[in-house]
Every structure is written in C-alpha cells, then in structure tokens.
Structure 1
Amino acid sequence: MTRKLVDVAAGVLLRPDGSYLLGQRGPDTVYAGYWEFPGGKVEPGEKPAQALCRELDEELGIRVTHLRPWLRREHLYEHAHVRLHFFEVCAWEGALDDKVHSALDWVEPSSATREPMLPANGPILKALRLPRVMGITDAARLGVDAQLEALDRALDAGLRLVQVREQALDAGARDRFAREVLARTRARGGLVVVNGDIELAQAIGADGVHLPARRLMALSERPAFQWVGASCHDRAELEHAAALTLDYALLGPVLATDSHPGAASLGWSGFSALTEGLPMPVLALGGLSPAVMETARDARAHGIAGIRGIWG
C-alpha cells in the first residue's frame, strides 16, 4: 500500500545544560499518550524551518530566535509515510504556554526517556546521547604516558567521547593502551570507540568501533556494537554510513591541518552542503578545537572531533 508522504518539522528545544523538551500527545490525537518532540506538519508553500517556528508559536506560545538544521529521518506509520525535519532550537522568546499536549517534560540526555515514545524518535534520542566533542588519541606521537596525562586533563574538563586510533603501536602495546583509556574514560561516564580493530574493541569491551572510510565502504551490514561510526570524506561515504544505520560519522577536513599540509579542505559551507538531509549526526573534523563549537553547529555539525585541538 502506498502511503502519502507527509513532511513534518520537529524541534529539539535545548537548555544550556543539554536537557531537551518532550510533549505528551493529547487524548484526541493519533498515538494519544505518546511522547514526542514539539512541531507539526509543513503546510503547502512553507519551508520546514518556517513551519516549525509557526508550530512552536501556536503550540507553546514561544517565538524562535535561533534554530539549527540537524537531522532528517523517514518513518512509515500505518496512516502515513512521514519525513521528519529535526531542528535544534537554541533560543526563543516567551515562557512556555502549552496549548496541545497533555504534559511537557525536560529530559536529561543521560536519563531514562519518557515512555511510550513515538516510534520515529528512538534514533533521535540516541543521537542526543552522543557527546558533542570526540578526542582522537595520538599516543604514537605524544608518547603513551603523555597521551594518558592529556586524556585525564580532557576528561576532567568534560570530554566524554574518545576514539582510540593507534595503528602505529604494536598489538600488545595497543591492547594495553586501549584498556587504560577505556578504564579512565568509563570512570568519568564516557564512551570509547576503537578505530578499525573490531577484534580489539570486542576483546576489551569497548562501547563501539569507528570505521575508516575504506572499511566502511567494504561493509554490507552494521557491526554488532552499541555505537558504530565512520570517517567520511564525501557524500557517497556519508550515504553508505546512513544506509548501514551507523550512529554517527566524522567528516573532514573542514579546515587546514598540521598533519596534512596542503590538503584540500571543505570549509564550513562545504561541510554544511554535504551533510544536508542526513539521518545521523555528523561531527566536523580537521583543524578544529572546542572554541569553534558554535560555528560548527550552525553549519549542521553535531559537534567536533580532533587530535591536536583536543589534547593541546
């Protein structure tokens, strides 16, 4: 049966502490009692961003002053084929005055979500648990001890996502180093993914695996980890990552880097163009540090990943 395609704009209202707003659908609606992100149908002649601003004014009595395009996902419900345009709503005017939901609730990304949730929202909730900054280890250059000291400093400063990328270390040293990174990061409540080495990731009980682009393009199904991401350099690689239902991608280089002098960079406009309409979060990579976070997120990035910019 062919279902009508319906475009819907949804807003992830964010507080500075990272908590987001959910609304419980009213008793006289489809999926009554289910929790959702506020928003609504895109009307003829509207762009999704315009529709969201209108809906948030009508539903919650707020006027959006800053929003960012984020993810786009599709879901087949019994009644419709829905294409959801998700935006991060970063700033608004007015106090919340809900007119359509049975309840509203602010939810911490790390806490249990509200149940039942609309089926299309599960991947969005997981994406909101993905930290905004990834540190990529560089022990072969810094030295193992110096890297672990830099890791401790970054974890103390709030880093919660680490990629172990140490192909230059021999197998034994890489195993010992990865286990130490995992122990220190887990102690702070963070996540660790291992670059390329699925067997090592399994052996140490890492949270996931990070796929180099060549490994990504050779796969036809997602590896069996809680978190799986990939390095990408073009739209074809990003779309393959999406087809495998990966949880995130890295895309770069956005700016010039010391490690690859003279290499062509995307720039922020290039990054934004390549990531339009993707269903999973993309972190920007290449010559970046947390100082450019707002610029990155305005260009559609979920956050940033880095080596020198994270460890100093």
Structure 2
Amino acid sequence: MASGIQRESSSPVRVVAAILVRADGHFLLACRPPGKPYPGYWEFPGGKIEANESGRDALARELHEELGITVIHATPWLTREFHYPHAAVNIQFYRVTQWLNEPTAREKQQLTWQSIKNITVSPLLPANQPILRSLALPSVYVISNASETGEVQSLEMIDSALQSDVKLLQVREKNMPSARLADFAMKILEKARHYQASVLINENIAMAQTLGADGVHLTSAQLLKAATRPAVNWCGASCHNEEELYQAASLGVDFVTLSPLYPTRSHPAMPTLGWQRFSTLIRNYPLPVYALGGMSMIDLDSAQEQGAQGVAFMRTLLHI
C-alpha cells in the first residue's frame, strides 16, 4: 500500500525483488537452492533490505551478490505484502532494464529467462505469482475519443495505434447512444483481435460481457460503490485521490489510472496532481498505475521513474 494509504500497523520483513527485463521482453527467474526456505521454487532475484539501507541500495547489493551484475537503470514498480507461514514480507519490486555483465549464478541457484506468454518453470514462489499478471500489462494505455474526432477518424487512429504495437485499449464514449456504442466497440474489438490487443469498455460491465470484451474500466464513482470485483478478465479503475486508490487495491482490480497529472480539456477546472503528488500517492502501492491527464509518449520515462506502469492518453493518439 502507498505510505499514506496503508491502514494497518505491522512490521513485516522488508525485501527487494528485481524484474530484470531484456530488450526482447524476457525476464529473469532464479530457483531457490537447497538449504533455503522453499527450495526448488522459482522467484525474482533479490533479498532482505538491511537496517538503514534504501530499497535501491539493497537492490544493487543483492544483484551484485547473487548475479554478479551492476545495476545501471532501475525504476520502482509495485510493493506487495505477503504472509508466509514463517514470516510476513513487504516486497518492493523494481524493474531493471540496464545492467553490466551477464547474470551468473553466484549462490548455487538456477537461472532462466522467461516470456510472460510462455512460462516454462514451476512452481513459482507464492509471493511472486501475482506479479506475472501485472507483468502482462503494457506500458501504454490508449483511450478512445470519438466524441471529439468523430467515429471514422477515431477508428483510423486506433488502427494506427495497433499497428504501432499498442496492446491495451479502452472504449470511453460517455455521450454515445448505447446501440452506436456497442457497434463502435465491436469494430474496435475486431481490429484489436487481429493484433492480439486487449479492449476494455468504460463503465458498462454488461456491454463488456455481452460483446466479449477483455474487461471493463470502472469510473471512480463505480469504484467507490463496488463491493466486489466485476466478473471480467481485466478490470481497471479511474482514481484521483488516496481514498480511490485504497478502494481499488481493496477490491482487487488489475490496474488503475491516476489523474489528472496536467490540465486537460475534458476536466479544465480539476486540480492537477503534478509528478510530486503523483509519486507520493503511488509510493509503495500494490497495483500497476497509469499516469493520465495531458500525457503523451514523451512522458513515459518520467512516469516510470516515479513508479508508474506507464502512461494513458487519448488526445495525443496521433503522435504515437
């Protein structure tokens, strides 16, 4: 949970874990050797954070000790708590995308590079299992905007985005009549399936289920009223503050958007977060977060440096 969101006091063991990601998208898993708890289980490399040590320092130390690598670039990602029979752990996950030296097993562990679409090893350490689902999410989340561009141009823009390897789309058309919305969404679904991309429908759970969409994106009002997670494959939610972030984590949605970072045409009077507030809200948060509001591809690196999954946008779709 984010530092301002956590509502229970506990003293779990603080741990850091690394998602080492190669340019081809494969990530590194290590098998725990005999003599350690859960021998034979696969995990993301890492270890305990020592007293007076930051997460980044622990990450660098552990990866050098275990794998013989020097971290060049790492960004914070998720923080999750897990209760094993012998201990509770608080795991800070980092995405590591640049390092020196080829990882080698320095502690008698086995190593393997895996693809999220084809995991060939098991069992995975229980605390790491939920991370695989989050790893399947892309760094860009595109939202439709036919109310401003018109349906024809919106579909052309979405087709162009899919050709540019966008893999996650949201159909969000607040003012479109239901029948037209269903037809518009089906056209997007047909395009997306050709590119193996996922499509979520904003707010309308029944339509998402009827059309066979990949999921639903809850409004913040829906989120606060929800008692259970909708029965869909992927569930996102719109958040703007600490209360909504807490509810999203409690409900168990797959990811959230947090907005607005900057002023937008659709919400011109809404107070903006800015990167400092955004970073504070998602620090130690358990779910992937997309930065939304005045975002474009040039903001992706900044968003991930603050701990975000990536960026979400609609009006800058032409500039992908």
TM-score, length of structure 1 as denominator length: 0.95
Residue equivalent to 2:225: 218
Give the alignment partner of residue 172 of structure 1, picking from 158, 179, 183. 179
The CA deviation at 1:173 is 0.5
**Is 1:270 the counterpart of 2:277 in the alignment?**
yes
- Kindly tell me: are residues 173 and 101 of structure 1, through their superposed partners in 2, closer, same or farther at Cα, counting changes over 3 Å? farther
Residue equivalent to 2:67: 60
The CA deviation at 1:264 is 2.2
Residue equivalent to 1:301: 308
Query: Alpha carbon RMSD of aligned pairs, Å?
Result: 1.5
Cα pair 1:74 1:82 within 8 Å, conserved: yes
**Is 1:45 the counterpart of 2:52 in the alignment?**
yes
The CA deviation at 1:27 is 2.2
The CA deviation at 1:5 is 2.3
Inter-partner Cα distance in structure 2 for 1:186 and 1:26:
42
Helix, strand or coil: the match of 1:119?
coil
**Is 1:187 the counterpart of 2:194 in the alignment?**
yes
Helix, strand or coil: the match of 2:213?
coil
Residue equivalent to 1:154: 161
- Kindly tell me: are residues 62 and 105 of structure 1, through their superposed partners in 2, closer, same or farther at Cα, counting changes over 3 Å? same
Q: How does 1:235-274 map to 2 (within 5 A)?
A: 235-274=242-281
Letter aligned with residue 248 of structure 1: F
The CA deviation at 1:102 is 3.2
Inter-partner Cα distance in structure 2 for 1:242 and 1:4:
20
Give the alignment partner of residue 213 of structure 2, picking from 188, 206, 212. 206
**Is 1:142 the counterpart of 2:143 in the alignment?**
no
The CA deviation at 1:190 is 0.6
Inter-partner Cα distance in structure 1 for 2:118 and 2:149:
36
Letter aligned with residue 262 of structure 2: L
Inter-partner Cα distance in structure 2 for 1:240 and 1:269:
22
Inter-partner Cα distance in structure 2 for 1:49 and 1:212:
34
Give the alignment partner of residue 124 of structure 1, picking from 100, 115, 131. 131
Give the alignment partner of residue 104 of structure 1, picking from 108, 111, 128. 111
Task: Give structure 2 stretches of 5+ with no counterpart.
Answer: 1-9
The CA deviation at 1:109 is 2.4
Q: Does 174-183 or 46-55 show the bigger shift?
A: 46-55
Percent identity over the alignment?
43
The CA deviation at 1:101 is 4.7
Task: Give structure 1 stretches of 5+ with no counterpart.
Answer: none
Letter aligned with residue 252 of structure 1: S
Q: Does 89-98 or 200-209 show the bigger shift?
A: 89-98
Residue equivalent to 1:281: 288
The CA deviation at 1:4 is 7.0
Inter-partner Cα distance in structure 2 for 1:113 and 1:258:
47
Give the alignment partner of residue 21 of structure 1, picking from 20, 23, 28. 28
Helix, strand or coil: the match of 1:10?
strand
The CA deviation at 1:22 is 0.7
Letter aligned with residue 230 of structure 1: A
> How many matched pairs?
310
Letter aligned with residue 230 of structure 2: P
Cα pair 1:196 1:210 within 8 Å, conserved: yes
Letter aligned with residue 38 of structure 2: Y
- Kindly tell me: are residues 238 and 10 of structure 1, through their superposed partners in 2, closer, same or farther at Cα, counting changes over 3 Å? same
Letter aligned with residue 110 of structure 1: K
Letter aligned with residue 309 of structure 1: T
Cα pair 1:13 1:20 within 8 Å, conserved: yes
**Is 1:83 the counterpart of 2:90 in the alignment?**
yes
Letter aligned with residue 170 of structure 1: P
Cα pair 1:9 1:40 within 8 Å, conserved: yes
**Is 1:163 the counterpart of 2:170 in the alignment?**
yes
Cα pair 1:24 1:101 within 8 Å, conserved: no
Inter-partner Cα distance in structure 2 for 1:113 and 1:154:
31
The CA deviation at 1:299 is 1.3
Q: Deviations over 1:259-301 (max 9, x none)?
A: 3335321111111111011111000001111122111111111
Helix, strand or coil: the match of 2:316?
helix
Inter-partner Cα distance in structure 1 for 2:104 and 2:167:
35
Helix, strand or coil: the match of 2:127?
helix
TM-score, length of structure 2 as denominator length: 0.93
Inter-partner Cα distance in structure 1 for 2:57 and 2:227:
38
Inter-partner Cα distance in structure 1 for 2:260 and 2:172:
17
Inter-partner Cα distance in structure 1 for 2:312 and 2:297:
9
